[in-house]
Structure 1
């Protein structure tokens, strides 16, 4: 099939595009720069690169025509954040393309009230980003169910990690000083008693699920799926596991949110709240049973790969070397 990947140079695309090429598909990567950005692989030499400014063309109403000009059988949209943008693309592709796949987010759900969360079953989103992602997912389901509607699938990743990407740490943010404290054996001061959960996923596992949905169109039609690791990490468990990588105990020191906000930046405090308050843990029963999804990475394995890459490339300063 000829497959257009919108946003193919990002973390998911870095793994997805080579996967599709290896599977024998003709792939077009549409990005602002017109080139790849992360891990290099020989498959990229077989990819057609198209430079396009999605935001600009959404504004002038030409983006759908630009996508259709590539004459795709399948479109994978990794770069859509508003219901208006998603609806415009659906309207352009309806009757012209066999399958549209959209990348959503676990932030379509608000704070967890029951573990695990099944597709579409969480609480209402608590920010505009999450509300938009949920609205898009529901619109796509309705589109596929309507007579003459476009066949669609939405896939909702957890906290994506992989080479070149700073992982969400046990504080629920990307403050690099947390890794120095963990590696030094200093207790990590966290605004939590340690039971809040975060659900990570390796970028290649997300790419795997997109590929499975592409190649099992009838099973994936009109569905939404979670793309996460088989398990989620608690703050306490995550800190302990990460400390062990450096031969340290990995302990936490619970503090109040007021104390935490006084000790960090407003941006890091908000980032932590965004993750810890939601305390997500998503089910993957549906992608496993419907599409045969099989995560290659437990969350700690995926995070360790990210941390190792960052240390080896001089992008993360730690107090002690890794012992694993």
Structure 2
């Protein structure tokens, strides 16, 4: 089918776009033209690349009609963050299948774990609230068929993953690499739930290719297991050839002297302590992630170290 991917040169699109082409789909990528995919692939030569600044076109009220004029059978929207954006796109379409990228942040803090897609959603923060609002709109309208994919902490080669301290402080990785040591808050029992960008892409594609099963549904997109902070730190220490030396300190001591941006990230991740189920994607679409959580974080960390 003819598939338009909005924002197709980022983390997810790097894997999704060549895979769609490989599967025989006529693929169009809409992007600002300011970034390149993280991985080279000759199949990008068979992609129709269209440059358009989404935000500028939306301010003019023209982005939805621009996408509709591309003649898609399906639209994969990787860069929608507000209901107004979703409405402008959907109102210009007529019956197509829209696959939207949501977020596990739309749930709010985990309560029952592993959390399933029918769990109550009580998000906080602009990002999570916005993603939840878009999902509610898409599932309530009847102009297009819609599916929502909720990724966890997207990881892969090319960017720093969320680390064992629940942030992206490079000093944590460097210390574990050099000596197998790091400092964690409390006892390190909170969880963070990664997913490889390739698996997020594959689940989007599964939705595109199985619209009768995917339409009207939302799907978690995470590894089949989550990592505790402590387990993650120990994994990296041993990966770099050290016995782990982890110091556990009270929260006040942990944040003392830490960059406020890293503090906020840690609070955000530990406050939610996410752990999600992948059963629904398996049961409805036959989809199982290819990458384990350990392989996912080690690949990302190794690629980051190699780029230093």
Q: TM-score, normalised by structure 2?
A: 0.97
* Per-residue deviation, residues 10-30 of structure 1 (Å, max 9, x unmatched): 010000000000000010111
SS at match of 2:283: helix
Tell me the equivalent position of 1:9.
9
The answer on 1:142 being equivalent to 2:140 is yes
Stretches (4+) displaced over 6 A:
none
Query: Out of 214, 222, 229, which is 2:216 matched to?
Result: 222
* Residue number in structure 2 paired with 1:45: 45
**Matches of 2:89 and 2:43 in 1, distance apart?**
28
Distance 2:120 2:181 in 1: 33
**CA separation of 1:259/1:126 partners in 2, compared to 1, >3 Å: closer, same or farther?**
same
Shift of 1:150: 1.0
Conserved? CA contact 2:8–2:30, under 8 Å: yes
Q: What is the total number of aligned residue pairs between the two structures?
A: 308
CA contact 2:180–2:238 (8 Å) conserved in 1: no
What RMSD in Å do the two structures reach over aligned CA positions? 1.3
Match of 2:55 in 1: 55
CA distances 1:201-246 after superposition (whole Å, capped 9, x unpaired):
0000011111111110000010000111010000111111111111
For residue 192 of structure 1, report the CA deviation from its aligned partner. Answer: 3.1
- Between the aligned partners of 2:46 and 2:132, the Cα distance in structure 1 is 35
User: Deviation at 1:34?
Assistant: 6.6
User: Whole-Å Cα distance in 2 between the matches of residues 135 and 120 of structure 1?
Assistant: 16
Deviation (angstroms), 1:120:
4.1
Task: Please give the secondary structure, in 2, of the residue aligned with 1:304.
Answer: helix
Give CA deviations for 1:156-189 in whole Å, capped at 9, x if unaligned. 0010111102100011111111011111235321
Where in structure 1 are there 5+ consecutive unaligned residues? 315-324
Structure 2 unmatched runs, 5+: none
Conservation of the 8 A alpha-carbon contact between 1:112 and 1:123: no
